[in-house]
Structure 1
């Protein structure tokens, strides 16, 4: 998925546990784990806002876009003489 979730980074910076964050945000630890591990298909703005409030951060501190498919110029090309990438 091209959206990476960095909740672990903010938890470490705030020295906060997943359980504490879940309690303070008002979601279950299981749902927070789904979000934190990048398995969520969506996140409500209200949940994102609550995460940002509790963690004292911006949405961009928690979510970032990553290119999902390599571009042609990023793929190593095989040397036709040696066969080495």
Structure 2
């Protein structure tokens, strides 16, 4: 997926655990892990805002776009017309 989640980078910078962040944001550690590991299909703006508030950062510090590699791009194009 071309969207990369960098929550672990901000956690390290803030010297905060996943459990502490989950508690302070108000989500379960399991849901935070899904987001942190890039397995989430969506994120609510309220959750993103809470993450930014707790981590004192901007959304762009947590999410970034990376171009798909050649193999991934070909698979995506094949799936569009199917």
Using the size of structure 1 for normalisation, the TM-score is 0.81
The equivalences for 1:7-46 within 5 A come to: 7-46=7-46
* Rg (Cα) greater in structure: 1
Match of 1:68 in 2: 68
Using the size of structure 2 for normalisation, the TM-score is 0.84
Tell me the alpha carbon deviations over residues 56-78 of structure 1, each in whole angstroms, 9 at most, x when there is no partner.
000000000000133xxxxxxxx
Q: How many Å separate the matches in 2 of 1:41 and 1:28?
A: 17
Moved more, 45-54 or 61-70: 61-70
Gaps of 5+ in 2: 71-82
Tell me the alpha carbon deviations over residues 11-59 of structure 1, each in whole angstroms, 9 at most, x when there is no partner.
0000000000000000000000000000000000000000000000000
Larger proportion of helix: 2
Q: How many Å separate the matches in 2 of 1:34 and 1:19?
A: 13
Q: Which runs of 4 or more aligned residues in structure 1 lie more than 6 Å from their structure 2 counterparts after TM superposition? A: none
Q: How many Å separate the matches in 1 of 2:23 and 2:68?
A: 33
RMSD: 0.5
